[in-house]
Chain A
Amino acid sequence: GQNIDQPTEMTATEGAIVQINCTYQTSGFNGLFWYQQHAGEAPTFLSYNVLDGLEEKGRFSSFLSRSKGYSYLLLKELQMKDSASYLCAVINQAGTALIFGKGTTLSVSS
């Protein structure tokens, strides 16, 4: 089976840096995604990691360690609009579906 764990909630202040962790247990690994979802809206793609290391994209970066079954999403220079849920998802062994974690709700305050 597959299991994905991420913290339920996090809080941070504007301008700060926050790291959202995700650990996964999977039989086989085909890639890991991070999505952002504002309340009541559709998830939107943030990043995709299939090899170990850091992928940087503007204020957002994502890191993957396949040997540790671990990823994190790093958000820099936080803005109020970054208040949202962040979803970690891995591709299942068959390559037919994304298995999502329950999401981390980030609240950014001024």
Chain B
Amino acid sequence: EAQVTQNPRYLITVTGKKLTVTCSQNMNHEYMSWYRQDPGLGLRQIYYSMNVEVTDKGDVPEGYKVSRKEKRNFPLILESPSPNQTSLYFCASSRGTSINEQFFGPGTRLTVL
């Protein structure tokens, strides 16, 4: 089944404790992206990647890192999480190296205490 997977789905952590949210897609998509979704603010892009080893900042990159060593994986790294990073995170992928229909992962609900 074609899909985007994320792990973990739910995470409660404490300020300053490094964490990684994994994202993997099995559709051989070039483009991958991370969004966060907050009430009243909608979905906002954190980082994106047009292809392996090519990543760039989205609208809200502060406090996040990403890597794209393989086409299928695009992990999101929070080196020192803070409470303002409490949010619902979505990974997405699409064919080609520019935007078209995006397929979203199931989401990761992160709480930073």
Contact = CB atoms under 8 A, between A and B. Distances in A.
Contacts of A102: 40-42
A77 to B, nearest CB: 25
Interface in B76-113: 90, 98-107
Interface stretch (A20-28, A40-48, A58-66, A67-75): A40-48
Chain A contact residues: helix, strand, loop or mixed: loop
B99 A95 contact: yes
Interface of B: 33, 35, 40-45, 48, 50, 56, 58-59, 90, 98-107
Interface of A: 30-31, 33, 40-45, 48, 87, 89, 91-92, 95-103
A49 to B, nearest CB: 12
Contact of A30 (B43, B99, B104): B99
A104 B59 CA distance: 22
Most buried by A among B33, B43, B50: B43
Nearest to A44: B104
Given A33-B102, A43-B90, A45-B101, 10 more contacts: A31-B100, A40-B107, A41-B106, A41-B107, A42-B90, A87-B43, A96-B48, A96-B98, A97-B33, A102-B41
